[in-house]
Amino acid sequence: MAGEEDGNAQNGTLYSAWGKQGYVGQNGRKLRSVSPIDGQVVGELLVASDECYEAVIEDAQEVFKEWRKVPAPERGKIVREIGNGFRDSKAQLGELVSREVGKIRAEGEGEIQEAIDIADFSVGLSRQLYGLVIQSERLDHRMIEQWHPLGPVGVISAFNFPVAVWAWNAMVAAVCGDVVIWKPSNLAPICAVTANEIARSVAKQYGFEGVFSLLIDDGDTLGKRLAADPRIPLVSATGSCEMGRSVSEVVGRRLGRSILELGGNNAVTILADADMDLAIAGVLFGAVGTAGQRCTSIRRVLVHRSVQDEFTSRLKKTYQQVSIGDPLVEGVLMGPLINQRAVESYELAIKTAISQGGQVLYGGSVLQDMPSGNFVEPTIILASRDMPIVQEETFAPIVFVIPIDTLEEAISINNEVRQGLSSALFTRDMRSVEQFLASVGSDCGIANVNMGTSGAEIGGAFGGEKDTGGGRESGTDSWKQYMRRQTCSINYGNKMPLAQGIKFS
Ligand code: UN1
């Protein structure tokens, strides 16, 4: 089939949609993926056409009919091989992540490790899709709750985790008996093709090629089609709050399910008794890691007034040592922003902060004489909670430092933004820890102690509240969303007692 030999990221033009039949057609438009590092072309793809879309969805429906019958532990064996495929290509795929989205090598490889980890988790899960036995109120009756595969699942992913977030969804969905249709970000399509090929080629060896399919688009048309398509019972979407609101409305109108993982505006609180070494290390990784382009990146630092000067002067010194440049070069800690639009948002956020009374303590500029115009300085801005810009998520390495006097004040600032993804507290006092984690504490989906807001492990359920969308992906019982629940009542007696004691004869 056309497209298969060419399904190699280094090979120039690639095809646009992969389902059971391999290459299924294209509309003639090309999508060029360009590295944010130096503007070099990473690869080109053909955008999926309307017939592509239809063929992929029809294949997915057909494959689902067979895949759902495969015993879950057998599905797990296939996922184990896929995980091994990720393992074998960790260095190569990690490097591709670095080239296509600009992460440093350690973080590019870390992203593939995250895919390996969720594959391992899913293999275990394939033997643990447990239901319940429920005590019945009726004589000679038994009740059970069991879980069945749901159907084709649409996955819409963002540029910043171009492999891991798909893997969170795809590996779990696959052991649950679902098939996956992936619409990746048009800023990271080569990572998507390469990662999907690992999964698709393993599944193909077992006759289940269409379990992992892919739709390449250069805009939002196909993502919108997935959201509106009643053949897709679940759409899992990662991206901006604006995108998530639209997906949620469209999926909700047809009474489908969605899992939304949207923006964050994550705060770290540093109390007077914090271990400052830990706080600096945590803020460095959380704010500068991935050039501030994680949904979990630190945006706000709420620091106790008594340690504010110590914190800011130490953070400035640490920032001075951050080496910015080609993310594949050893020792570099921060690569470029994804594109010029991101650089413009960075510049606008800083300008807006200054106009609202913010004071730039470090950074604030776009770097000159770099291989592209996408490199910026990590930036520290002294701010106050009432500056409107502090309410916004800017996908860039900017932190707003806001002085606080009490933990209660910090919790109230932590919680007063629309987003509710991640949060963290640095303290040595167990009472402060418990207060932060109590129901009156952080309102976020993630609350950490003595570490930053980013870098979650796959074993926890990942996601957040309020405008972050309420979805949970990856660990614990997130799998339940990828299955349909069935409550079964069985009468093994020879009478027909009714629930609630109703007599009806
Ligand atoms: C994202 O930015 O969309 O917790 C996901 C983290 C990563 C995942 C981030 N494990 O930072």
Q: Is residue 21 scored above 60 in pLDDT?
A: no
pLDDT of residue 16: 65
Does ligand 1 have an atom closer than 6 angstroms to the CB of 165? yes
Q: Is residue 11 scored above 50 in pLDDT?
A: no
Across all residues in the chain, what is the average pLDDT? 95
Which segment of 22-31, 84-93, 277-286, 332-341 scores lowest on mean pLDDT?
A: 22-31
Does ligand 1 have an atom closer than 6 angstroms to the CB of 33? no
Show the tokens assigned to 313.
């002067």
CB 422 within 8 A of CB 446: yes
CA of 199 to the centre of ligand 1 (A): 21
- Distance separating alpha carbons of residues 196 and 214, to the nearest angstrom: 7
Identify the helix (H) or strand (E) that includes residue 153: strand 152-156
Return the HEC string of 211-251.
Answer: HEEEECCCCCHHHHHHHHCCCCCEEEEECCHHHHHHHHHHH
CB 211 within 8 A of CB 202: no
- Distance separating alpha carbons of residues 348 and 379, to the nearest angstrom: 13
What average pLDDT does this structure show over 262-275? 98
Does ligand 1 have an atom closer than 6 angstroms to the CB of 161? yes
Q: Of these residues, 52, 176, 241, 295, which one is catalytic?
A: 295
**Residue of 166, 169, 241, 295 to test ligand 1 pocket, by largest number of atoms within 8 Å of CB:** 295
Q: Is residue 368 scored above 70 in pLDDT?
A: yes
Q: Is residue 4 scored above 80 in pLDDT?
A: no
Tens digit of each residue's pLDDT (9 = 90 or more) over 22-53: 556 667 788 999 999 999 999 998 898 888 89
pLDDT of residue 6: 40
Is 261 annotated in the active site?
yes
Does ligand 1 have an atom closer than 6 angstroms to the CB of 374? no
Confidence of residue 14 (pLDDT cuts 50, 70, 90): low
CA of 245 to the centre of ligand 1 (A): 20
Residues 493, 495, 501, 504, CA torsion sign? positive
pTM above 0.85, yes or no: yes
Does ligand 1 have an atom closer than 6 angstroms to the CB of 446? no
pLDDT of residue 46: 87
Does ligand 1 have an atom closer than 6 angstroms to the CB of 160? yes
What average pLDDT does this structure show over 3-12? 40
pLDDT of residue 2: 32
**Which has the closest alpha carbon to 374: 134, 241, 218, 187?**
187
Is 444 annotated in the active site?
no
What average pLDDT does this structure show over 302-325? 98
Does ligand 1 have an atom closer than 6 angstroms to the CB of 35? no
Looking at the CA of residue 462, tell me the nearest atom of ligand 1. 4
- Distance separating alpha carbons of residues 15 and 7, to the nearest angstrom: 7
- Which residue has the CA at smallest separation from atom 3 of ligand 1? 295
